């Protein structure tokens, strides 16, 4: 087994009915762009009733049909925000927790110490987060998962991973292994994944690999490391 093999994103997802919400961070093969991707999936009517919107470089989840919203607490949030040279991406309102923590001098990991997994037993959905930090003509990134330490949700296990950027290499963190009841939580380190040069190629591969019945929205951002220029791609199943 080659632990350094770097598969394409579709190898990691195709045929899996439910990987939940997912974050990909990495660098394009040509070394020119920092890449961030975030997607959501849904099984319930409440979860499926969502779209992504983008305003001034920040990405939000919003109801597609406001009349059908049952519980907005875990499905409506800022998914991507930027503070100075830090780009934050998460699967919940801990985006704001990290943003506020950084503004008050805390680190990525320190800010997340005030949060735990989501209170949606028996699934106890993990909170997954990522942050790219730009500087010196390059970037590095961190990823985090906060998840229940047992099936009872008695306490929180916290894992933080730090990576230098390497051309062609990314890491993929998602909330679930696959569908189930309860849904099995992601295990182990973020998965290695290849990052192609073209944003459209990557967006298409990722969206098409997600289960057609359960995929909801996808946002992909390529940031030119030298100039800071941003290219974006956004897909909403509901729009």
Write down the pLDDT at residue 142.
Answer: 98
Q: Are residues 156 and 116 in contact, defined by beta-carbon separation less than 8 angstroms?
A: yes
Write down the pLDDT at residue 210.
Answer: 98
Buried b vs exposed e over 86-110: b needs ≥16 C-beta within 10 Å? bbbbbbbebbebbbebbeeebebbe
Write down the pLDDT at residue 74.
Answer: 76
Write down the pLDDT at residue 86.
Answer: 98
Write down the pLDDT at residue 45.
Answer: 85
Question: Edge to edge, what strands does the sheet with 22-27 contain?
Answer: 191-194, 169-174, 22-27, 33-41, 215-224, 230-236
Write down the pLDDT at residue 149.
Answer: 97
* Pairing state between β 78-83 and 86-90: antiparallel
Q: Are residues 144 and 129 in contact, defined by beta-carbon separation less than 8 angstroms?
A: yes
Q: Which residues of the chain have pLDDT under 50?
A: none
Classify residue 172 as exposed, middle or buried by CB count within 10 Å of its CB (0-12, 13-18, 19+): buried
CA dist 163 and 191 (Å) reads 12
**CATH class of the domain defined by 9-236:** alpha beta
Segment (H or E) for 202 = helix 199-209
Tokens of 229: 């220029």
């Amino acid at each position: 087994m080659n632990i350094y093999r770097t598969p394409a994103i579709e190898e990691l997802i195709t045929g899996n009915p439910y990987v939940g919400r997912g974050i990909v961070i990495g660098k394009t093969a040509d070394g020119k762009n920092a890449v961030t991707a975030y997607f959501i999936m849904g099984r319930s009517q409440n979860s499926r009733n969502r779209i992504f919107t983008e305003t001034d470089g920040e990405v939000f989840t919003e109801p597609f049909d406001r009349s059908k919203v049952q519980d907005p607490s875990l499905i409506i949030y800022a998914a991507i925000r930027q503070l100075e040279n830090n780009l934050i991406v998460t699967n919940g309102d801990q985006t704001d927790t990290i943003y506020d923590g950084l503004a008050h001098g805390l680190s990525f990991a320190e800010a997340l110490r005030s949060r735990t997994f989501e209170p949606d037993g028996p699934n106890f959905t993990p909170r997954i987060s990522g942050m790219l930090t730009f500087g010196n003509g390059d970037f590095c990134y961190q990823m985090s998962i906060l998840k229940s330490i047992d099936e009872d949700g008695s306490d929180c296990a916290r894992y933080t991973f730090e990576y230098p950027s390497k051309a062609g290499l990314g890491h993929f963190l998602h909330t679930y292994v696959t569908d189930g009841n309860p849904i099995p939580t992601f295990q182990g380190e973020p998965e290695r994944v290849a990052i192609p040069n073209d944003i459209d190629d990557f967006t298409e591969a990722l969206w098409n690999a997600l289960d057609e019945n359960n995929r909801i929205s996808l946002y992909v951002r390529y940031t030119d490391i030298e100039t800071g220029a941003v290219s974006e791609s956004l897909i909403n199943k509901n729009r």
